[in-house]
Amino acid sequence: MSEVRVENLSKSYGSACALDAVSLRFPDGGFFGLLGPSGSGKTTLLRAIAGFVEPDAGQVLICDRPVVDVPVEAREIGMVFQNYALFPNMSVSENVAFGLRVRRVPTVEAKARVAEVLELVQLGPLGDRRPHELSGGQRQRVAMARAIVTRPSVLLLDEPLSALDKALRVDMQIELKRIQREVGITTIFVTHDQEEALTLSDRIGILKGGRLIREGRPEEVYSDPGDVFTARFLGEANVLEGRAVDGALELAGGTRVARPADGATMIAVRPEHLSVSRDRPEIASALRADLRQRIFAGAMGTCVLHWEGQQLKAVARHEEFADLPESGPVWISWCDRHARGLRAE
Indicate whether 332 pLDDT > 70. Answer: yes
Helix (H) or strand (E) holding 182: helix 166-183
Write the pLDDT tens digit of every residue in 221-246. 999 999 999 999 998 999 999 998 88
Least Cα distance to 157 among 214, 207, 196 occurs for 196
Distance of alpha carbon 126 from alpha carbon 112, whole angstroms: 15
CATH of domain 229-341: 2.40.50.100
Segment 244-295, tens digit of pLDDT:
888 889 998 888 888 887 788 999 999 999 999 999 988 878 999 999 999 8
The CATH classification of domain 4-224, taken from the options 3.30.70.1150, 3.40.50.300, 3.90.800.10, 3.10.310.30: 3.40.50.300
What value does the CA radius of gyration of the chain take, rounded to a whole number of Å? 24
| Residues contacting 174, CB < 8 A, separation 6+ | none
Q: Once rounded to an integer, what is the mean pLDDT over residues 191-219?
A: 93
Contacts of 162 (CB under 8 A, 6+ apart): 82, 191, 192, 193
- Domain borders along the chain are 4-224, 229-341
Whether the model pTM is above 0.95: no
Helices 136-148 and 107-120 meet at what angle, rounded to 10? 130
pLDDT, tens digit, for every residue of 96-139? 999 999 899 999 999 999 999 999 999 999 999 999 999 888 99
Cα–Cα dist 63/28, whole Å = 9
Backbone angles phi, psi at 171, to 5 degrees: -60, -40
